[in-house]
Amino acid sequence: MSGLGAAITSQWGVIRYRWVAAKFVLSVLILLLAFGWLHDTLETAAQQAERLAESGGPAEQLGTTPALVAAGFGFAFLQLLLATLLALYKPGGRTRRGRRLLAAQRGTRSRETPVTVADVREVAHDVRALTLRPVEGERLPRWEPGAHIDVVLPSGRVRQYSLYGDPGAGGDTGDPDDAGAYRIAVLREEDGRGGSAEVHGLAAGARLAIRGPRNHFPLVDAPAHLFVAGGIGIVPFLPMLHRLDAAGADWRLVYRGRSLDRMAFTDALARQYGGRVTLLPSDTHARPDLPALLRDTPVGVAVYCCGPERLVEAVAEAMSVAGPHGTLRIERFAAVERPDGTADRPFEAELARSGRVVRVPAGRSLLSAIQDVDPTVDRSCEDGICGSCATRVLDGVPDHRDDILQADERERADVIYPCVSRSSSDRIVLDA
């Protein structure tokens, strides 16, 4: 009866997992065998035995009935044995129907946290800061400087925004009205895809959902830290500066923007940190001499850059010339351009949890191939920036093409971002 119980009363359901479906089928067969064929066979055998006893005839006159009864009980025993084994070992994974059901359930985003926009403030021209609070009053997860969240907007658009504030208090910045909240700042992009404009249209009381936080841009241990921010790229640095300053670390910030009125948080930065912060609005200051800036840094310095692609490229070039004694960590606003993929080599991906193997031809992403057999796989930007689709690699050699891993992480063989990355080996085995 455990097959019926697992199928009808448990969270697994009869059609969601192959092992439960198998137990259910075996349970039904046992019942049919007991109340159908075996019942009739036993009744016939009893009648024959009664007549035989009355006539005093030999036992051979019972014919094949005893053999049929023995076979029926043997078959039932094997079914019970298989059902017991299935209770101990759960093979297979989800059924096709189960995968579809789970995909439909994820339309409700149970792993998302509903939040309310508690406050909206203008912190610079075209830059708005939002305070987000959990709807149900639950405390939001702790986070570390450099972390970001996915914000699911009312339209269904999903955008990634860096967190700022004090991560030690779940977003607490020292203001009692802001304790236990997340804070983000969003630049309105006129030529964007609509996400920033939608955020700027939100008012206090709006309901959203968030995922995360995730952190691919953490602080690293180093004797000194140099931050180069461009525009809204200042946001992930705010909690980093707070953390380093509290620890008495050696750090410096160079902050570049179009004009002072478009550069968020400048007053607070100047007031809190004074000479450690250099503000360079482009309408009044020339481009910074990055090679000279890097030459003045100590050996082992950690350089962080977040901003437009031109700034990122300029810092990377300057590092190669003047800063080889340090390490560079980058966070981009957008994905770099990639080839169309027609020259890529095909490969196979084995999904270890289900045992399925998918072929990934040239010109098709690994993520889309996985989605054919598992539509529930996590994803968001699909540009190799957000990290939502991070998947553990069990065997094989990843060909990293994302914009998440830093230069010193490109040899990692334990993770892959399948939305853009591929396999250098003929087969890659994934924990999926």
347-430 has which CATH code? 3.10.20.30
Cis peptide before 339 (omega within 30 of 0): no
The full DSSP string for 113-133 is EEEEEEEEEEEETTEEEEEEE
- CA torsion 12-376-181-123 (nearest 10°) is -170
What pLDDT is recorded for position 415?
95
Q: Does domain 225-332 have CATH number 3.40.50.80?
A: yes
Three-class DSSP category at 12: coil
Report which DSSP code applies to 200. Answer: H
**CA 11, CA 227: separation in Å to the nearest integer?**
49
pLDDT confidence of residue 340: 63
Is the domain covering 109-214 a CATH 3.30.420.40 domain? no
Residue 94's φ and ψ, nearest 5 degrees, are -80, 150
C-alpha torsion sign, points 19, 23, 24, 29: positive
Pick the closest to residue 212 from 100, 132, 329, 156 (CA basis). Answer: 132
Residue 210 to residue 160: CA distance in whole angstroms? 9
* N-to-C CA span, the chain: 32
- Domain chopping of the chain, boundaries: 2-93, 109-214, 225-332, 347-430
- 232's tokens: 């809204």
CA angle 241, 246, 247 (to 5 degrees): 100
**Closest Cα to residue 329, out of 215, 191, 250, 174?**
215
CA angle 102, 105, 106 (to 5 degrees): 90
Going by DSSP bridges, is the β-strand pair 251-257/225-230 parallel, antiparallel, or unpaired?
parallel
Q: What is the largest CA-CA distance in the chain?
A: 120
> Is pTM, for the whole model, over 0.75?
no
In the block, residue with structure tokens 């059901």 = 101
H or E, element range at 392: strand 391-395
How far, in Å, CA of 15 to CA of 102, rounded? Answer: 11
Task: Identify the pLDDT of residue 91.
Answer: 47
Q: What whole-number distance in Å separates Cα of residue 304 and Cα of residue 74?
A: 71
Angle at 72 between CA 66 and CA 78, to 5 degrees: 140
Nearest-angstrom CA–CA distance, 132 and 206: 10
Q: What is the pLDDT of residue 68?
A: 55
Do the beta carbons of residue 256 and residue 228 sit within 8 Å? yes
pLDDT in tens, the chain (432 residues): 555 554 445 444 555 566 667 766 777 776 676 656 555 665 666 665 556 555 655 545 445 555 555 565 666 667 666 666 655 555 455 555 554 444 444 443 347 899 999 999 999 999 999 999 998 767 799 999 999 999 999 998 999 999 999 775 444 444 444 458 999 999 999 877 789 999 999 999 999 999 989 999 999 999 999 999 999 999 999 999 999 999 999 999 999 999 999 999 999 999 999 999 999 999 999 999 999 999 999 999 999 999 999 999 999 999 988 878 899 999 987 777 766 666 789 999 999 988 899 999 999 999 999 998 888 787 778 888 888 899 999 999 999 999 889 888 889 999 999 999 999 999 999 998
Task: Please report where in the chains the tokens 């080839």 appear, as a residue.
Answer: 339
Residue in 270, 268, 274 with CA at minimum distance from that of residue 165: 268
Q: Which two tokens mark 127?
A: 């830059």
In what side-by-side order are the strands of the sheet with 251-257? 277-281, 251-257, 225-230, 302-307, 327-332
